[in-house]
Structure 1
Amino acid sequence: MNEPAIRANIVRWGKSFFERGLTAGSSGNISARIDDGFIATPTNSCLGFLDPDRLSKLDAAGHHVAGDPPTKELPLHFAFYEGRPCGAVVHLHATYATALSCLSDTDPANALIPLTPYAVMRVGRVPVLPYTRPGSADIKPLIVAVVADHCAALLENHGPIVSSATLDAAAYAIEELEEAAKLAIILRGLPRRQLTKAAIDDLNATFRLR
């Protein structure tokens, strides 16, 4: 996908996330890799009202070269880009995933109960990373410690972040993460059936989540 198409796709997905209530106000940020660097949403921008020409352009080292100033959450994004092969990163404040990140009994090794095959196929195991101030570079070593084996994470008391090969794939994955979080909260305290280890192993072997 060329740069104008990637800019248009960021605007399209931002509007979709905002209109469906997956992030509110000026929360959330999106980035995508281009041939000579990256395109990212600007700081303090509303995902529902992005202008493709004002998106932030970064060079391959992450330096701002054009457009509005980039999101303060670049340390989040670049920890994924530097730690695994991915073409896009999405961070939202989606309600149920954020709720899971605030619950003290959420398993820090894997926030998602394996209830559905698509949660396993699209996001896999989702660690919960200790709280850091939004925009702080302190998050980077925490992501570096898990990023080789995980394409997504929950930021404690903050929300979800997902990486994938393309922006479309990252968008589908963060939506799946939110739906899995919603199911986990709805079913809290109820008798439930979850996927067996054999079923999870079969999904991992068949679909090889990247």
Structure 2
Amino acid sequence: MSDETRLRDQICTIGRSLFDRGLTAGSSGNISARLPDGGWLMTPTNASLGTLDPARISQFDGDGNFVSGDKPTKESFLHFAMYDERRDAGAVIHLHSTHSTAVSILRDIDPEDVLPPLTAYHIMRVGKLPLVPYYAPGDPELAEAVRSLASAHHSVLLANHGPVVAGTSLSNAQYAAEELEETSKLFLALQGHAIRPLTPAQVSDLRARFNL
């Protein structure tokens, strides 16, 4: 099996898993992966992540030109903004997942780091999570807003929209997106309660221990 075939199949498998567990609905959300030759695969526009066809996934060449497959997602610019700033990114996942989107709508969250350090795995897989100001879907200024943060952050949260997460592989991007959603669920469940987040010293220890 070629690397391209494997990536096409993996995109479909991950898409179906995310859809079946309610992390995306309808035709929302999109997934991309970097090909070994420098091109990219990306889920098509108006496609449900639960019923992707590997043969119809959109393909771009190394210069970002669309070359084959179904018409690509209109949010492809979010993916390319991440890839342009993060040379180690092998995949990007963008979701409209319920809990993380709900957090993005809250009024008093910290725009420099949306979620408190509730768990070690959030620090390890998501890290510092900045909020990107609201832009209408498809607005090219949204790409520039993501680009301005991507070199320092592999995960960002789009206000009133959802998360964009890069990973060194499809699996790593998936795990980080799932961890972000679970931490968002915890954060919402704890609203109104006194919490005991990790201390700055504990966060620093994690970052040093796992070379984050």
1:61 to 60, 63, 72: 63
Letter in 1 for 2:59: K
TM (norm. structure 1) is 0.97
1:81-96 to 2 correspondences below 5 Å: 81-84=83-86, 85-96=88-99
1:32 aligns with 2:65: no
1:185 to 183, 188, 191: 188
Q: CA deviation at 1:141?
A: 1.6
Where structure 2 has 5 or more consecutive residues not aligned to the other structure, the ranges are: none
For residues 173 and 205 of structure 1, the distance between their equivalents in structure 2, rounded to whole angstroms, comes to 19
- Secondary structure in 2 matching 1:145: helix
Q: CA deviation at 1:144?
A: 1.9
1:162 aligns with 2:165: yes
Q: CA deviation at 1:135?
A: 2.2
Q: CA deviation at 1:138?
A: 1.1
Structure 2 match to 1:42: 44
Q: C-alpha offsets along residues 5-32 of structure 1, whole Å, 9 cap, x if unaligned?
A: 0000000000000000000000000000
- Secondary structure in 1 matching 2:157: strand
Q: C-alpha offsets along residues 48-102 of structure 1, whole Å, 9 cap, x if unaligned?
A: 0000000000011211101001111111101110001200000011110000011
Structure 2 match to 1:23: 24
For residues 31 and 208 of structure 1, the distance between their equivalents in structure 2, rounded to whole angstroms, comes to 26
| Contact 1:112–1:126 (CA under 8 A) maintained in structure 2 | yes
Where structure 1 has 5 or more consecutive residues not aligned to the other structure, the ranges are: none
For residues 43 and 104 of structure 1, the distance between their equivalents in structure 2, rounded to whole angstroms, comes to 31
Structure 1 match to 2:75: 73
**Alignment size in residue pairs:** 209
Q: Sequence identity of aligned pairs in percent?
A: 51
Letter in 2 for 1:112: L
| Contact 1:75–1:140 (CA under 8 A) maintained in structure 2 | yes
For residues 140 and 77 of structure 2, the distance between their equivalents in structure 1, rounded to whole angstroms, comes to 6
List 4+ stretches of structure 1 deviating above 6 A: none
For residues 191 and 35 of structure 1, the distance between their equivalents in structure 2, rounded to whole angstroms, comes to 48
For residues 57 and 73 of structure 1, the distance between their equivalents in structure 2, rounded to whole angstroms, comes to 14
TM (norm. structure 2) is 0.96
Q: CA deviation at 1:35?
A: 2.0
Q: CA deviation at 1:38?
A: 0.2
For residues 98 and 159 of structure 2, the distance between their equivalents in structure 1, rounded to whole angstroms, comes to 13
1:144-163 to 2 correspondences below 5 Å: 144-163=147-166
Q: C-alpha offsets along residues 110-131 of structure 1, whole Å, 9 cap, x if unaligned?
A: 1111000000000101001011
Structure 2 match to 1:104: 107
| Contact 1:74–1:135 (CA under 8 A) maintained in structure 2 | no
